[in-house]
Structures are given as structure tokens and as C-alpha cells.
Amino acid sequence: MASIIEIEGLTKSYASGFKALNGVDLTIEEGEIFALLGPNGAGKTTMISIICGIARASSGSVKVAGHDIVRDYRGARAAIGLVPQELSTDQFERVIDTVTFSRGLFGKPRNPAHVEKILRDLSLWDKRNAKILELSGGMKRRVMIAKALSHEPRVLFLDEPTAGVDVELRRDMWKLIGQLRETGVTIILTTHYIEEAEEMADRVGVINRGELMLVEDKTALMKKLGKKTLTVVLAERLDAVPAELAEWQVTLKGDGQEIEYIFDTQAERTGVSSLLRRLGDLGIGYKDLNTAQSSLEDIFVALVHREKAA
Amino acid sequence: MSLSNLRAIAAIYKFELHRFRRTLLTGLLVPVITTTLYFVVFGGAIGSRMTEVDGIPYAAFIVPGLIMMAMFTESIFNASFGIYMPKFTGTIYELLSAPVSATETIIAYVGAAATKSLIIGTIIFLTAHLFVDVPVAHPLAMVGFMILIAVSFCLFGFILGIWAQSFEQLQVIPMLLIMPMTFLGGAFYSVQMLAEPWRTITLFNPIVYLISGFRWTFFGKGDVGIEFSLIFVAGMLTICLGIIGWMFRTGYRLKK
Ligand SMILES: Nc1ncnc2c1ncn2[C@@H]1O[C@H](COP(=O)(O)OP(=O)(O)OP(=O)(O)O)[C@@H](O)[C@H]1O
Ligand SMILES: [Mg+2]
């Protein structure tokens, strides 16, 4: 596969002096779905803003479809569709007008058939003559996606496409992104939700404090990150972990009322059933069980520690 | 100069005119009513005592000043709003991320705002004819001057819109600077009517030269020579273009 975006040594210091990006190198392949994960303030939006021409880089270079984003901004920007994080629309415009406007703004000749197709794909066709202010929040976000797709971009940036969107719409969004990929569009999306990256992405990048900490194939990453915690709420308090449970390396939590076991969901044997069997053998009763995926926060903490150790 | 995305110019121009069309009625009614009021007050009440200025009937004398005054405020207001609103609502992201050059952006926004100013100028001119005979000595020069003024003040408004970070800032320059300067700039009187030192002081007001120049296209004479008026218009255009060029090069208050 050919690369469609090449980022080299990208840094960004805001006017306040705050360093939001610190030497980011990244190559995106044409046709892939790339998920950029990171906590609030990590620099995801900043990175996208620079690539799209909304913010200026302090140093480093970016090429989109072979065009330098500064020297040959027209070539670079013509290839990009952007759906920003914030909902911002021209409230008084009609849906169809605002999408047609975007196409013209990007220098493409009128093509009502294409605009119609996009609006239909996004279930907005019925609302084409509505003013944007008459739409719900989820519909507005879809209008923004329609605008971004109006000029047939090769790369689509979706900055938190599912933030504040209900479960159903989130599923729709995932489906839509899948369909877009079929047409060959490269998609870069940011998210806080690991399951979102899991659902859609081919590759995942994790960014924290302006540094790209890891870029990996999704399957490989999920293996690494696929740890779960099993909490066993005991019927009676324990003072210490019985020696018979050493093999599972469990820890006692909640004042001796709970046992915590961390296991690998991707492993052949998770050890969960054998642990429960052993508890039964030992006559340790339990009232409740629950499992939890390691949160993104845990993953960042783990990554930061790994980084320090290395 | 970089002009290759003409479709973008057309799209923005259309969008802006569409925005004006939404407020068409008030947009056109207001200048008509204001002009009528000025005629009642200045042309009627004052004009009955002060019949002539410089050999021109007073009611006719104030017409160029009225047109200029409306065009100054309309141009600044429309052009500044045109670029301030996208900044305010956040929709500017699309303009910044589009393959559009600074030149194309300016042509589209300033062109649209100037179009509206010219329409309003024309309406006032026509309304004035209902009240008084207004001779036009140099019709071509008059149209040319109106276009130059519309473009210059729209450029100025565009700068204001980029600079402003609140609605208050957007209002303050037109209200506190342009309005008084226009009133003191000979919109309703001839500078010749002032006693010294006021006459000399008034000549430091650039608006005097603009109004005088426009009056020249009507009556063949003004407070100052037409060449001085043209120098001031050219100067204003150059300064505004320079500032806008600098704003786009540095991304001033547009790009983070
Ligand atoms: N215009 C600005 N001026 C100064 N600092 C800024 C500006 N915009 C962003 N920052 C800072 O840069 C850092 C990165 O912000 P950015 O918006 O890129 O984060 P993000 O990863 O997109 O976060 P989120 O997940 O909350 O959207 C933050 O610390 C933020 O406060
Ligand atoms: Mg963000």
C-alpha cells in the first residue's frame, strides 16, 4: 500500500507557550482506518488541525497525497475532508445548500447526483430542505460529515465522531465508516473509547502529552491490552490470600472482602474457571462476580510506566 | 496573487448574498427610511433657512454625503460580520481547511459586501430623487467612486472582523470613530463654511476628502481638489490591502 499521509517531526507550541505536540512521526497508508487514541488534551485535535490547515505547525512537515501542506496547500487540502470535534454549522442554511456550498468551496463542479447520494447514505435526504437549526444534534453531526464528503476526499478526518452520540447512532456511524472504507477512502478518527478502535480500526496510535507513544496493528494491540479484571466478592472476609491461590497471583481488596484476579482475555486458558473451582474446593463462598476491561486510563498508565522503564 | 479556485469565490459570494437576502426587507427599508428622515430634518427644516451652499440647493448638496455615510457604515458592518460570524460560530474551520487562497477569500467576502453597499447606495440615490433634483456632472466618475469607496470600506470592515474578538469590539470602531468622523467630515456642510482654526483641523480628517470627492462627481466641485480625494481613496485601499496581506501571511487571529 502507498502512504497517503507522511508526518515528520511535527511539533506545535501554542501562543501561550504550551507545547501540544512534541516531535510526532507518523505514516498513514492509503485505504486504512487509523484510530488515534488518547486522553483529553493529548494533542489529537491539534494534530488534525495542523494537517487540515486550521493551525500552523511550529516545526516539522506534513505531506498529504504527496503535497506539502504549506507549499502546496491546495493539493493537500483538496484531498481532505474534515469533520471537527465541535458541532459548528450555519444554522439558518438549508441542509442541501450547505452541502452544495462545501463542494463549491473545494473547487468541485456542481453535481446534484453526488450530493443526493451522500444525503441518502447519511439518512438526511428527507431533511434536505430543513434549516440546520431544525435538526437534532446527531443529525447536525451527519450534516457535517456530508459536507466533508461533498468534494469526494481521499482522506477523511473524524475528530471524535461518536462523542455525545447515542448507542444506536454510534452503531450507524461505525457502519457508515465501514462503507466509506469500501470506497477506498482513508479514515483517521480520534476517540476515547477503546472498543471503538477495536471495532473499526486497522491500526491504532496512542498519543499522550503530545507524543505518539505507540502505533500498532489493532489485533496486536488488543492482545497486549486485552487484560480484564475479575472481582470476586466474598461471602466472608479473608485475612490473607490462601497459599492454594498463589498460582493465580490474586490480590485481596476491599478490606479482605474481595479477591481480584487479572487475566488475559486472549489467552488460551484465562484461568477463571479453574480459579472458581479452586475457591469451591477450599470452601470459600462468594456472593458476586464481575469482570471489567482495563480502562483506557489504565492503559496509558501502563504505557507511561513501560516508557519510563525502557 | 493566486486565483485558481473560482468556484470557491462563487460559492462564498453566493452564500453571503444569500445571507443578505434573508434580511432583505429590513436591509433595504432602513436606508430608505433613514434617507427620508434626513431629508425631512436637514433638507426641510434646516434647508428652508439655509437655501444654498456654494451655489447648490442645500437639499441636493447633502445627497452625496448621505450616500457616503450609509455606504461607510453598511460596508464596514456587512464585511466585518461576514468574517466575524464564522469565527464566532466556529464554521470558519471549513474555510481554513479548504483549498482557497487569501486573495480568493478576500475577493469573495469583500465582493459580496461591496455589492450590498452599492445596492444600498443606489437605493438612497433613487430615494433622494423623490425629494429633490440631483444633477450628476460626472456619472461614470460617480459610479467608479462608489465602487472604490465600497471596496475600500469593505476591506476595512473585513480587517475589523478578523481583528474583533467580541461583538463589542466589532461595534466600537464604526460607532466611535467612523460615525463622528463622517459627521465632522462635511457630510452635511461645506468645510468652507467653517471658521479657522476649525477649517484647518478638519482637513486632517481623511473622510473630508472622500465626501468631497464624491460631491465633485455630482456638482463638479468639492471642498478639496478631486486629485486629493483620489489620493486618499488609493491610500486607504493600499493600507487595507497591506494589512490584510499581513494578516493572512501570519494567520493573525485566524489560525491557531
Ligand atoms: N488555542 C489553544 N491555545 C493554547 N493551548 C491550546 C489551544 N488549543 C489546545 N490547546 C492545548 O493543547 C493541548 C492539546 O489539545 P487538543 O485539543 O489537541 O487535545 P485533544 O487530544 O484533542 O483532547 P480531547 O480529547 O479533549 O479533544 C491541551 O492541553 C490544550 O489545552
Ligand atoms: Mg480533541
Assess whether A105 and A48 both reside in one domain: yes
Q: What pLDDT shows up at residue A194?
A: 76
**Ligand 1 center to residue A45 CA distance, Å?**
7
A48 burial type by CB count under 10 A (0-12 exposed, 13-18 middle, 19+ buried): buried
Ligand 1: which atom is nearest the Cα of residue A21?
Answer: 14
Asked, for residue A50, whether it belongs to a domain, the answer is: yes
* Domain stop point among A202, A222, A242: A222
* Domain stop point among A222, A244, A269: A222
Confidence of residue A53 (pLDDT cuts 50, 70, 90): very high
Length of chain B: 256
From the centroid of its chain, how far is CA B144? 13
Asked, for residue A192, whether it belongs to a domain, the answer is: yes
Q: What pLDDT shows up at residue B161?
A: 95
**Atom 9 (ligand 1) nearest CA:** A46
Name the residue in chain A with its Cα closest to that of B90.
A88
Assess whether A87 and A150 both reside in one domain: yes
Q: What pLDDT shows up at residue B42?
A: 75
Pick from A85-94, A293-302, B4-13, B19-28: least confident: A293-302
How is residue B240 written as a grid cell? 487595507
Assess whether A188 and A244 both reside in one domain: no
* Most confident of the following: A85-89, A262-266, B52-56: A85-89
Nearest ligand, CA A13: 1
Asked, for residue A198, whether it belongs to a domain, the answer is: yes
Distance CA B187, CA B181 (A): 10
Nearest ligand, CA A46: 1
Tell me whether residues A108 and B93 touch, CB distance under 8 A: no
Residue B52 host element (H or E): strand B52-53
For B213-254, the pLDDT digits (tens) are: 999 999 988 888 889 999 999 999 999 999 998 998 887 777
Mean pLDDT within B145-169: 95
Q: What pLDDT shows up at residue A93?
A: 94
- pLDDT above 80 for A223: no
Confidence of residue A268 (pLDDT cuts 50, 70, 90): confident
Q: Is B99 in the A-facing interface, judged by CB distances under 8 Å?
A: yes
Assess whether A176 and A39 both reside in one domain: yes
* C-beta A73 within 6 A of ligand 1: no
Q: What pLDDT shows up at residue A300?
A: 57
CB atoms within 10 A of CB B50: 12
Assess whether A52 and A110 both reside in one domain: yes
Asked, for residue A44, whether it belongs to a domain, the answer is: yes
Assess whether A283 and A177 both reside in one domain: no
Residue ranges near ligand 2 (ion) with Cβ within 5 Å: A 44-45, 85
Tell me whether residues A75 and B99 touch, CB distance under 8 A: yes
Asked, for residue A26, whether it belongs to a domain, the answer is: yes
**Ligand 1 center to residue A42 CA distance, Å?**
7
Residue A142 host element (H or E): helix A137-149
- pLDDT above 90 for A265: no
**3-class secondary-structure state, position A101:** helix
Mind giving me the DSSP string for A191-258?
ES-HHHHHHH-SEEEEEETTEEEEEEEHHHHHHHH-EEEEEEEESS--SS--GGGGGGT-EEEGGGTE
Tell me whether residues B256 and A54 touch, CB distance under 8 A: yes
**Which of B94, B255, B256 is nearest residue A105 as measured by Cβ atoms?**
B94
Mind giving me the DSSP string for B140-167?
HHHHHHHHHHHHHHHHHHHHHHHH-SSH
- pLDDT above 90 for B150: yes
Contacts of B251 in chain A (CB under 8 A): 56
Assess whether A132 and A188 both reside in one domain: yes
Residue numbers of B between 127 and 186 with CB closer than 8 Å to A: none
Measured between CA atoms, how close is B5 to chain A, in angstroms?
5
| Domain count within chain A | 2
For A112-157, the pLDDT digits (tens) are: 999 999 999 888 999 999 999 999 888 898 999 999 999 999 999 9
Pick from A25-39, A161-175, A181-195, B40-54: least confident: B40-54
For B87-122, the pLDDT digits (tens) are: 999 999 999 999 999 999 999 999 999 999 999 999
Residue A266's domain comprises 227-293
Asked, for residue A298, whether it belongs to a domain, the answer is: no
Substitution target in B94, B100, B250 with the highest count of A β-carbons within 10 Å is B94
Query: For chains A and B, what is the number of CB pairs under 8 angstroms?
Result: 79
* C-beta A18 within 6 A of ligand 1: yes
Confidence of residue A229 (pLDDT cuts 50, 70, 90): confident
Assess whether A135 and A267 both reside in one domain: no
Name the residue in chain B with its Cα closest to that of A78.
B99
How is residue A290 written as a grid cell? 464481575
Tell me whether residues A106 and B4 touch, CB distance under 8 A: no
Assess whether A143 and A261 both reside in one domain: no
* C-beta A16 within 6 A of ligand 1: yes
The whole model's pTM is what?
0.85
A63 burial type by CB count under 10 A (0-12 exposed, 13-18 middle, 19+ buried): buried
- pLDDT above 90 for B14: yes
Higher pLDDT, A220 or B161: B161
Q: What CATH number should be reported for the domain holding residue A117?
A: 3.40.50.300
Distance CA A132, CA A139 (A): 9
For B34-91, the pLDDT digits (tens) are: 888 888 887 676 666 667 777 888 888 889 999 999 999 999 999 999 999 999 999 9
Assess whether A171 and A236 both reside in one domain: no
The conformation of residue B174, written as its DSSP 8-state character, comes to I
Q: What pLDDT shows up at residue B39?
A: 80
Distance CA B3, CA A248 (A): 70
Q: What CATH number should be reported for the domain holding residue A289?
A: 3.30.70
* C-beta A112 within 6 A of ligand 1: no
Distance CA B165, CA A1 (A): 46
Asked, for residue A20, whether it belongs to a domain, the answer is: yes
Asked, for residue A57, whether it belongs to a domain, the answer is: yes
Measured between CA atoms, how close is B228 to chain A, in angstroms?
40
- pLDDT above 60 for A297: no
- pLDDT above 60 for A188: yes
Q: What pLDDT shows up at residue A303?
A: 67
Could you list the beta-strand ranges (E) of chain A: 3-13, 19-29, 33-37, 59-64, 67-68, 80-83, 155-159, 186-191, 203-208, 211-217, 227-234, 251-253, 258-264, 286-293
Assess whether A173 and A270 both reside in one domain: no
Distance CA A222, CA A244 (A): 31
Confidence of residue A299 (pLDDT cuts 50, 70, 90): low
Residues above pLDDT 70, as percent of chain B:
96
Assess whether A216 and A89 both reside in one domain: yes
Nearest ligand, CA A18: 1
Name the residue in chain B with its Cα closest to that of A15.
B256
* C-beta A40 within 6 A of ligand 1: yes
Tell me whether residues A107 and B7 touch, CB distance under 8 A: yes
